[in-house]
Structure 1
C-alpha cells in the first residue's frame, strides 16, 4: 500500500467523477437552457429513476423547478468542446442555444429541447422531495423515456465503433477522458 497518498477532502469527488458527463436541458414558459452536469447517477430500475445535483444558483434549476421536467443527454467525444462551453457559461445571461449555435430537436415525452448528436437521451419527471432539493440540491426523477444511438448502444450494451461516438467523462480544468475499451470477464 506504499503507493497510496492522501487526497484533500475538497478534491475527493474527483476520485468518483469519471462517470459520463451529461448535458441537462430544460424549458419553462418558453425559455430553455442547456448545462453540463457531471453529478448524475442511476437510482432504481422499476420504475427507472435517477439523481441529479442541480445547484440552486443555476438558471436550469429555476427552469426545472418551474416545469418539473428535464432531459439528460450523453454527449460524445466529438461534443467535448460544446460540453465545456455550456458548462462554462450562464444561461441566465445568454441564450446558449443561439450563442453557441447548438442544433436541437424536441424531446419525445416532455416539453424541452434536446441537443442533436448525443449518443443517449433520458427524459425525466421530477419526483418532488423539497427537503433534498433545498438542503442538498439533489433532484430525484423518474425516467419516462430513454433512447440511444444504436451505433453506440444496443442490446443493453455500450459498444463504440469509433472514437467519435465514445461518451466523455469530465475531470476538471478542461480535462476529459473518453470511455475506454470494453472487456468481458467469465463467471465461474
Structure 2
C-alpha cells in the first residue's frame, strides 16, 4: 500500500540527471556550485535549462557574464561535490579548498574542472524565466569528455544528503 509523500520531497522522486559542478568566472575569480536542478530542452543546438538560486554567489556571476561550464563529476568526486555545496564561494576558493584543477575553456571564460568526466561550455541564451523562477536557458557551445570512461558512475541527488549512482546500462534498440 502506498503512503502520502510530503510535497517537499517530490523532487527526490523526479530528480532526473546527474549532479553537476557549475563553474563560473567573474572578475578573474573562478567558482563552483553543485547543480542538480537542470534539464535538456533541445538536441541541436543543445539547450539546457537550470535553476540557480538568486541567493547563491554563482547567480551573480552567471547573470553578469552569461557564461558557465557544466562539469560532470563521477562518484570519485562525491566528497568534493558535497563539500562545494556546503560552503560559499564568497568566502573561499573552492578549487583550492577541494583540490580541483581549473583548466581554460575554449569558448567561455569559466574554467573546466579537469577531474570531471565531461565538460560543457555554455552561454546563457534566454533569460525570460530568470526573474520569476531563477531559470536560465543555456546553449552548449563546446563539449568535452574522456573517451576512456565508457560507463561513468554519475551522482544523482535524492535529497537530504542521499545520492544514487548511475548503474547498469540497458539497451533496447
Residue correspondences, number: 173
Structure 2 gap segments, 5+ residues each: none
**Considering only aligned residues, what root-mean-square deviation do their CA atoms show, in Å?**
1.4
TM-score under structure 2 normalisation? 0.93
CA apart distance, 1:5: 2.2
Other-structure match for 2:62: 64
Structure possessing the higher radius of gyration over alpha carbons = 1
1:81-101 per-position Cα deviation (integer Å, ceiling 9, x unaligned): 011000111111212122222
Other-structure match for 2:21: 23
Measure, in 2, the Cα distance between the counterparts of 1:8 and 1:51.
25
Alignment of 1:9-158 (within 5 A): 9-130=7-128, 132-152=129-149
CA apart distance, 1:173: 3.0
Measure, in 2, the Cα distance between the counterparts of 1:84 and 1:172.
12
CA apart distance, 1:80: 0.3
Structure 1 segments of 4+ aligned residues over 4 angstroms from their partners: none
Measure, in 2, the Cα distance between the counterparts of 1:124 and 1:18.
20
1:23-62 per-position Cα deviation (integer Å, ceiling 9, x unaligned): 0000122122101011111100122100010000111111
Are the aligned partners of 2:70 and 2:121 in contact in 1 as well (CA < 8 Å)?
A: yes
Structure 1 gap segments, 5+ residues each: 153-158
Are the aligned partners of 1:18 and 1:171 in contact in 2 as well (CA < 8 Å)?
A: no
Other-structure match for 1:174: 161
For 2:59, what is the secondary structure of its paired residue?
Answer: helix
Mean Cα displacement is larger for which, 170-179 or 112-121?
170-179
For 2:106, what is the secondary structure of its paired residue?
Answer: coil
